[in-house]
Structure 1
Amino acid sequence: MKKYILIILFIGFNYAAPEYRKIILENDLKIILVSDEKYNKSSASMNVMVGSLSDPKEYQGLAHFLEHMLFLGTEKYPDVEDYGSYLKSNGGYSNAYTAEDHTNYHFEVYHDAFEGALDRFSQFFISPLFKQEYTEREMNAVHSEYQKNLEQDYWRMRQVKRNLYNSNHPANHFEIGTIETLSNVNRKVLLDFYKKYYSSNMMNLSILSNLDLDSLEKLARKYFSDINNTKKDRIKYPLNYLEEKNTLRLLKVEPVKDVKRLVLEFPTPSFYKYYESKPEQLIARLIGYEGEGSLQNLLKSKGLAMGVGAWGQNNTEDYGSLNLWVELTSDGFQNYEEVLSICFSYIELLKNAGYQSFIFDEAKILAELEEKYASKGEGTQVAVKMANNLAFYPIDQVERVEYIYNKENITAYMDLLSYVKPENMLATLSGYGIETTNTEQWYSAKYSYEENDGVLYSRIKNPEIITELKLPIENPFMPTSTDIIQDNDNKNISELIYDIKGMKVYHSRDLEFNRPKAKLIYNIFINENLMSLENYLLGQLYVASINENLSTIYSAAKLAGLEYQISHNIEGIKIEVSGYNSSIDELMKVIIKSIKNLSIDENIFSVIIDATKRNLENKSLNDAYQIAQENLSLINFGTAYSPTEQLSIIESISINDVEKYWDLIFNNIFIEASAHGNISKRDVQKLSIKLRNTFGYKSINKQDCFTSTRLDLPYGTKVTNTISSEVNNSAYVSYFKIGENSPRDRAMAMLIRTYVGQPYYMELRTNQQLGYIVAAGAFSRDNYSAMYCIVQSDGYPPHEVENRSIKFLSNAINDLDNLSNEQLSIYKNAAREAINEKSTSISQETDRRHILTHKFNNNFNRDNETLDALNEITIDDIKQTLSFTLNKETQRNITILLYANKLEIPLDIKPTFDNLNSWKKEQSYK
């Protein structure tokens, strides 16, 4: 049956796909060129095959530090601001990261500026300056990045585990770097490392643009042929970063956030070479299966886990790992030994069952479909993937590696599964209340480590057979047709096809992508009289209960190319379904049935309450700037409930309360819906009526629904709040209202974002070294436009950051006198390109249309209105708007000053209010 489906699937519509060309320059630089006339932006990425594993022991973090330094000037472009300013003023973006075995640099920019960006980018790899005066300054930036990660559990766990790896293996290292580890690094050390490893034959470049392939090849040869080739041999890494040992190795780590998790790591050889059969993905797919009889299903039913997953990871070309994680409940944390035993029972089931051909067949079918019909994306996300693929896979397969399932490899599958055994495992348990005996050097993480060859080790070496555990069944959501609908509907508008009291449904056909996919969005608004703290929390728990009921089909749907999301927000509930239209109907039936027949198991409900509580409690331990942003939202939104408020009542909520929420809410709702893609009006109407009938609701008009409101500040008003936090960084977050969401306001916000963004970052981060996270810009949303400033600092109190930010902005206003009309023209061109950007997928286009039809009265001319307004704006207009927005006499500002746990709030810095909720009652929100 499956083979027959594969034969009939590809009767579909042909459409233009990206064109590819692979070349190798005379200096042995490998390049993939990608041409697609529909790209909104051009992009490039360079993979250099050296990373933190090659750091000298005396300079831990050197590879990462060098990555930072490459951005700070080259012989051809010595100005340290040139690269960033050029990209930003042309709507661009750039970044880089250092992995263990490679470093990746990447950028994207609008097409007209692409050649100039390539020229500047190529110089990173030809003639970097490594200016001594910036060495110490950028060392501080690296240290700030380290400080930012000090209370991030991901980095803490990662480092503790690394310290347990074999002491003579490069994986036992510290990768980020600090002022301490880099203190003796000078220009010579940087140059020596660069010359040793940054050879063209160790590099892999991707270039993506709307230009034809011949033009791209000319650019590649023009700008990258001068990279020096020292004929460096590829780096080889030893396999045994964690040797087998006849014992249970258990690492217990106390987390910063209340994260109760069990992670099992199994070292393996690299599986790059198995790209044609992908055994690691098949194993991860089986372990992560969520349906009846799955590992997750059993652990949840016992109240031991909230989620289960697995992934394969290539650490280098030589070694990798298979990993299994379990998100534990409080009971699961206390009974982690039982959880561990059940995990190995399922692993034993996989080994005894042998290779599952139908899993490979399903993966192959979907991969072939996705290769033909999936949106391939654009920009840095694709460029990075292409450059990295070029480094690790055969050059002739680079662009399609993820879609290749050429042949089953039963031997590779069983061999890889043989590494999943207790003697080849490092188990890591995290959670509050763990007894610890050690403190890790770099992150001060408290942990203990034990080796146990007793009863528990014997249990997992010889796991019991658990009859409730089963292998997956065939996927019911696999697409059955890829036919493109043929009808006379050639209008490129969203048409109102269903309009009754309580529901509006818009439909539009996809005329751009010609793929057998669609997306549906349903916004369910509640009656404004029902908005309260209790109902808001009940809404969250109700949606969590629906999602929990649907969890058994989530992985099957995703693996069949479908996605769904049921979410809760302050205005109500949102349902989104997307993917192959031949399967959407089946998925919607399951979702509707789950809503209609919602039944909440007591064990599952306690898991939901536990997860919700932990999520709320952990918010106070987010990044400093995130805490400040959330506090700003509490002030800015008329109705918003803090984590503290929600925690104050969560224990009083029962299953009965959540079940009664259905009757309370769905007697008072209004639905706004949109459907777009390869789906007919009739099918959309049928699905919408089914959903409506499921709710069985009493219809209300849209004007009776709750609508979120925002603070309407009088001119000349500044609202300040101070926060004494639990985290180790401070944050300054400030919001200035520019105006409404008129065409002129939208255009002005875009120009301000371009004018302020990069210089703000360059001055406050690179020059003044105030912190690692620095950003400024402007945006338009809903019925307003605003400007923002964000700085997270490990070394400066937020009031000092605010003073420096205000000084910079004041200077920026004055500097407008020196802005040329030519430069303004560049800013405007970037804004035009942004306005004219096209959606890159049916899903993205559905989102755009949904906003235009329901939020902006079906006004598809908004972009043209913005373009017209953009053309009229002068330099004087920008100066006047910035002056008016930032002047104390006319500002409308909300500022959050969040102080790190080591700082006291100065007595002379007073918040605007003592009690937020009391203060809000006296304010105007609209």
Structure 2
Amino acid sequence: MLVSQNDHREYALETLPNGLQVLYIHDQNCKKSAASWCVNAGHFNDPTDCCGLAHLLEHLIFNGSENYPEADEFDRFLNQYSGGVNAWTGTEYSNYHFDVAHEQLISALARFKDMLFFPLFEQQAISKEINAIDAEFKLKVNDDLRRLYQVHKETCNPAHPFSQFSVGNAETFTKHSLVQLQSLLRQYHQRFYIPANSRLVVISKHPIEYLKQQLNQIFNDLKSTPLPSVVKQPPLYLPEQLGVQISINPIKDARRLIVSFALPDVQHMYQTKPLEYISHLLGDEGKGSLLVYLKKQDWATNLTAGGGINGSNFKDFNVNLQLTESGKDNISNILNALFYYLQLIKKGLSEPWRLQEKVQLGLLAFNFAESSKTIDEAQQLANQLFHYPNDQVLSGDALITQPNPELIEQCLGYMRPNNMRLKFISKDAPTDKQARWYHTPYKLESVDAEILNTLLTPEPIDELALPDKNPFISKHQEITCVSATHLVPKRIYESDAMHVWFAQDDQFCQPKGDCYVSFDCAAVADADADGASVSAYKRLWAGLVSEHLNDQFYQAGVAGLHYHFYSHQAGFTLHTSGFSQQQLNLCIAIIKQIMSEIDFSNLFQQVKNKQVQSLQNSLLNKPINRLFNRLSGIVQKHTHAPSEVLSYVESATLDDVKAVKTRLFEQYFLEIFVFGNWQKEQVDHYIEGLQELKLECGNGTKIKRDVIDLKHNHRFINAVDNPHKDAAVVLYIQTPSASNRDIAMTILIEQMLASPFFHTLRNEKQLGYLVGSGYLPLNQHPGMAFYIQSPTHSAKELVVEIDAFLHEMATNIEDMREIWQFVKASVAKQLVDSDTSLSVKSQHYWMAIGTEEQDFKHQQALAYELEQLKFNDICAFVQNMIKTELFGSLVLYCAGDKPARVPTQGEEIRELSHFKAQAKYIA
């Protein structure tokens, strides 16, 4: 099996006697074991008279099996041992995956096998899951992606299974009796959910021979069953569905043009990856690029190329453009530019270095890929087992092993005017139809033949050109020597205005690193009265800088040398990451740009419009998202909710932004952290470069990330407007202190309550599809949140149910005495095994610097506190948690289309700025 040069894991691939193909991966460094099972069946295999059956079956898989009949037993088992399970149903494949502590892998696999191959399909469970799917469907009725997807389905060949409704809802399922549905589910399961039609991937610390022995015992009772017959699919599009324009009205404010080209399946071209090469050039954002040209004309603000639906006999290639108002009136000119650029790509095939550069970039990405979570990697590889030869399962997605200009030219041949489908998405687009299920207004019409003919010979545009050779590609990947004195962050430079920290990596051994440069600006702390305006103008300035940087340094990101410039509550941060060879020089060059006076007059209106649109659309987000945005804006002193910022962005002028930028740089404090594949001498040289920029004139101080003290003898309540029909509630509970003991206790309690909360309120009481909880530290102060979004219940009912659950748990906490030690052990293990990649480790160190940790052993300290906890401590904590004297309590809610009564007793927060101005803050 072809593996990357830095992959030290062991692999084994075998096919069991019953036909199940298994990939075993022994990874000595993985934190948890994981498994993923993929089956070659999805909604394309739904019966035509029962849309959504595959999705329903996915839900039923979790509702009891022959040896484990209790619903959600597997999820509760995994929850005790640091794990979780999830699944998805696609067009032609479905995937089930879990992770768990290594010690429990074999027990988990036994349950997993039983769940997948011996489900019960009880009628009561079917009825319950129909309600759950209907709630999921209603949740997404106002989701623009789902709404556009449905229009896509209705404008393709109705004989192709892609055209069918895939999600299902109460209407599609209740056409059948429960007995009939039970029979259909069993037929589908018996036909497709068989060993030979599936693939399994297991990743673990356990040796491969041990895994083989255990899996053969677990799966040996499954019988060998012939593969289901393959049904040949008709073409995805009929001739009259090509060369068309589809105009669509979205719910959110959007102006988009999606140009889709219809191709056959190109999976067999994986060794050449022609579409990746084309999208690499079309999506370029540097000098001479299509996007830079369209921005200059004020026709578009963003462009992505590639993606699009794909299957066993079809592939869409999409060019997706975010249009300006002017762009809506210049679609023919935009198309002319696109087709001219496609001609340039075809001509560029005569220059072999372009394709070789893409080969080189793929090889670098493959050889130096960062580790991902085992559960994510397992599900990706389970799918890849269906698509690549055994020796290329790992490399098939990444490497171009057979560069072939002829295949690229062949794919470019499909990108012609009469083979395209235009989607024009705008609130004022003309429509004459309404798509079923999601009620999307749209109109389908043929593009004028004269326009199509004109685009065959587009007018040349001198400003368009293919990119030059990439100067940022890393040529040296040596690993530097590591010194024992730099294995944890150490402050190597200190002045009144700047601290520089440095540490080397000895764990992941990659030629990469991360560099954080954070500006804490006094203007933020001094702006209590006009904090929202400073936040708005700071956000606009950061957006302008990011656009400017992209024009100059786009190719750095292509070469695996990334940068991110963003505004935060105390100022702004530049984060660079990726290959270390040129990174510190890039960081200096970017800071120089940030500090300089740049003429943004040409960019201002575009960036402003983009941010206004983004903020307006955030107010249309689903209720749960709105509530969590508001929560951050209430509790964190220097954070402001989108509703507060929007009016300032709408009325902003370039002079406003310049004035705030000047204020930000009057007084600031710099915190810098360099971590990874560098020697101290290199970082010393980097510091000299910073000093040449005269950054230390700021003489500022570090800004405290304050949080509001919610502890009171009552709870606080805040209503959030939202046009969505669903009601939603978030109950945030603020822990008394940020001591290690309180943090450890909060994390543990949330983990203990998470599974029963989900099971009780979503599965048993069926309050809604979006139900959950989470540990939620705000500015590092611990807390936890419980949330529900419901199409059927009012906000008042949701608060009553959450409170009732917490009181019940407090009353019956003794019931958890048997499992609490398992949960405690798994949480402690997660804390000490938290770094899965170099970037994750650097982020943990960076957060520790921000909280002024002295020894960088916070995770270990939390694990120690967990070990000291007794069950009586848990009981006392939960008892106190449901009171308001020691713990803070905040209820945020959206009323939806239910009566807008205040859902609980407490103090209503009516004016955010007034509340924050009067509030006490935690010291």
TM-score with structure 1 length normalisation?
0.95
1:614 paired residue number: 613
2:121 paired residue number: 130
> What amino acid is the match of 1:291?
G
SS at match of 1:399: coil
Residue 446 (structure 2) pairs with residue 451 (structure 1): yes
Residue 591 (structure 2) pairs with residue 592 (structure 1): yes
How far 1:659 moved relative to its partner?
A: 3.4
1:881 paired residue number: 877
> What amino acid is the match of 1:919?
F
Residue 787 (structure 2) pairs with residue 790 (structure 1): yes
> What amino acid is the match of 2:891?
T
Cα separation, 1, equivalents of 2:759 and 2:700: 50
How far 1:533 moved relative to its partner?
A: 2.6
Cα separation, 2, equivalents of 1:237 and 1:415: 24
How far 1:86 moved relative to its partner?
A: 0.6
How far 1:24 moved relative to its partner?
A: 0.9
Question: Among residues 702, 707, 717, which one is paired with 2:704 in the alignment?
Answer: 707
Q: Is the 8 A contact 1:741 1:781 kept in 2?
A: no
2:258 paired residue number: 263
SS at match of 2:393: helix
Cα separation, 2, equivalents of 1:505 and 1:675: 8
1:756 paired residue number: 753
SS at match of 1:402: coil
Q: Is the 8 A contact 2:141 2:147 kept in 1?
A: yes
Distance 1:419 1:607, change over 3 A: same
Question: Among residues 34, 42, 45, which one is paired with 1:54 in the alignment?
Answer: 45
1:771 paired residue number: 768
How far 1:245 moved relative to its partner?
A: 4.7
Q: Is the 8 A contact 2:626 2:720 kept in 1?
A: no
1:470 paired residue number: 465
> What does residue range 559-578 of structure 1 map to in structure 2 within 5 Å?
559-578=558-577
Residue 829 (structure 2) pairs with residue 833 (structure 1): yes
> What does residue range 431-446 of structure 1 map to in structure 2 within 5 Å?
431-446=426-441
Question: Among residues 195, 214, 217, which one is paired with 1:219 in the alignment?
Answer: 214
Distance 1:831 1:131, change over 3 A: same
1:854 paired residue number: 850
Distance 1:585 1:722, change over 3 A: closer
SS at match of 2:799: helix
1:8 paired residue number: none
1:277 paired residue number: 272
Question: In the TM superposition, what whole-angstrom CA distance separates every residue of 1:893-914 from its partner, at most 9, and x where no partner exists?
Answer: 00012111x3330378676133
> What amino acid is the match of 1:31?
V
How far 1:810 moved relative to its partner?
A: 1.1
Q: Is the 8 A contact 1:749 1:780 kept in 2?
A: no
> What does residue range 508-587 of structure 1 map to in structure 2 within 5 Å?
508-527=503-522, 528-530=525-527, 532-553=531-552, 555-587=554-586
Q: Is the 8 A contact 1:667 1:697 kept in 2?
A: no
How far 1:602 moved relative to its partner?
A: 3.0
SS at match of 1:361: helix
State the identity %.
25
1:722 paired residue number: 719
Cα separation, 2, equivalents of 1:286 and 1:908: 54
How far 1:137 moved relative to its partner?
A: 0.6
Cα separation, 2, equivalents of 1:376 and 1:233: 36
2:74 paired residue number: 83
How far 1:663 moved relative to its partner?
A: 2.9
Question: In the TM superposition, what whole-angstrom CA distance separates every residue of 1:413-470 from its partner, at most 9, and x where no partner exists?
Answer: 1111111112111110112222221111110111112112244333323321111111
Question: In the TM superposition, what whole-angstrom CA distance separates every residue of 1:336-393 from its partner, at most 9, and x where no partner exists?
Answer: 3322222222123223443653233223223333333222323211011110100111
> What does residue range 105-184 of structure 1 map to in structure 2 within 5 Å?
105-183=96-174, 184=176
Q: Is the 8 A contact 2:711 2:889 kept in 1?
A: no
How far 1:891 moved relative to its partner?
A: 4.1
Cα separation, 2, equivalents of 1:607 and 1:800: 44
Cα separation, 1, equivalents of 2:804 and 2:651: 49
> What amino acid is the match of 1:642?
A
Question: Among residues 169, 172, 184, which one is paired with 1:189 in the alignment?
Answer: 184
How far 1:150 moved relative to its partner?
A: 0.8
> What does residue range 223-302 of structure 1 map to in structure 2 within 5 Å?
223-233=218-228, 235-238=230-233, 240-245=235-240, 248-302=243-297
Distance 1:314 1:390, change over 3 A: farther
How far 1:312 moved relative to its partner?
A: 4.0
Cα separation, 1, equivalents of 2:680 and 2:667: 27
2:646 paired residue number: 647
Distance 1:861 1:249, change over 3 A: same
2:859 paired residue number: 863
Cα separation, 2, equivalents of 1:802 and 1:645: 26
Question: In the TM superposition, what whole-angstrom CA distance separates every residue of 1:136-188 from its partner, at most 9, and x where no partner exists?
Answer: 11111111111111111111101101100011111111111101111115211
Distance 1:590 1:492, change over 3 A: closer
Cα separation, 2, equivalents of 1:239 and 1:692: 66
1:343 paired residue number: 338
Question: Among residues 389, 413, 425, which one is paired with 2:408 in the alignment?
Answer: 413
Q: Is the 8 A contact 1:202 1:234 kept in 2?
A: no
Cα separation, 2, equivalents of 1:308 and 1:769: 41
Cα separation, 2, equivalents of 1:18 and 1:853: 33
Cα separation, 1, equivalents of 2:35 and 2:639: 42
Cα separation, 1, equivalents of 2:513 and 2:365: 14
Cα separation, 2, equivalents of 1:580 and 1:699: 30
Q: Is the 8 A contact 2:346 2:412 kept in 1?
A: yes
Cα separation, 1, equivalents of 2:771 and 2:607: 36
2:22 paired residue number: 31
How far 1:290 moved relative to its partner?
A: 0.8
1:684 paired residue number: 683
SS at match of 1:167: coil
Distance 1:824 1:714, change over 3 A: closer
Distance 1:825 1:649, change over 3 A: closer
> What amino acid is the match of 1:852?
A
Cα separation, 2, equivalents of 1:646 and 1:818: 47
Q: Is the 8 A contact 1:752 1:778 kept in 2?
A: no
Cα separation, 2, equivalents of 1:454 and 1:831: 64
Cα separation, 2, equivalents of 1:463 and 1:394: 41
SS at match of 1:602: coil
SS at match of 1:522: strand
1:4 paired residue number: none
Cα separation, 2, equivalents of 1:765 and 1:322: 39
Q: Is the 8 A contact 1:301 1:604 kept in 2?
A: no
> What amino acid is the match of 1:320?
K
SS at match of 1:832: helix
Distance 1:54 1:469, change over 3 A: same
> What amino acid is the match of 1:897?
Y
2:889 paired residue number: 893
SS at match of 2:163: coil
Cα separation, 2, equivalents of 1:647 and 1:693: 38
Cα separation, 1, equivalents of 2:302 and 2:470: 20
TM-score with structure 2 length normalisation?
0.95
How far 1:239 moved relative to its partner?
A: 5.6
Cα separation, 2, equivalents of 1:66 and 1:469: 51
Cα separation, 2, equivalents of 1:374 and 1:181: 44
Distance 1:398 1:490, change over 3 A: farther
List gaps (5 residues or longer) in structure 2: none
2:734 paired residue number: 737
How far 1:490 moved relative to its partner?
A: 5.1
Question: Among residues 88, 103, 108, which one is paired with 1:97 in the alignment?
Answer: 88
Q: Is the 8 A contact 2:155 2:241 kept in 1?
A: no
List gaps (5 residues or longer) in structure 1: 1-12
Query: Alignment length, in residue pairs?
Result: 910
Bigger Cα displacement from structure 2, 368-377 vs 890-899: 368-377
SS at match of 2:856: coil
> What amino acid is the match of 1:874?
K
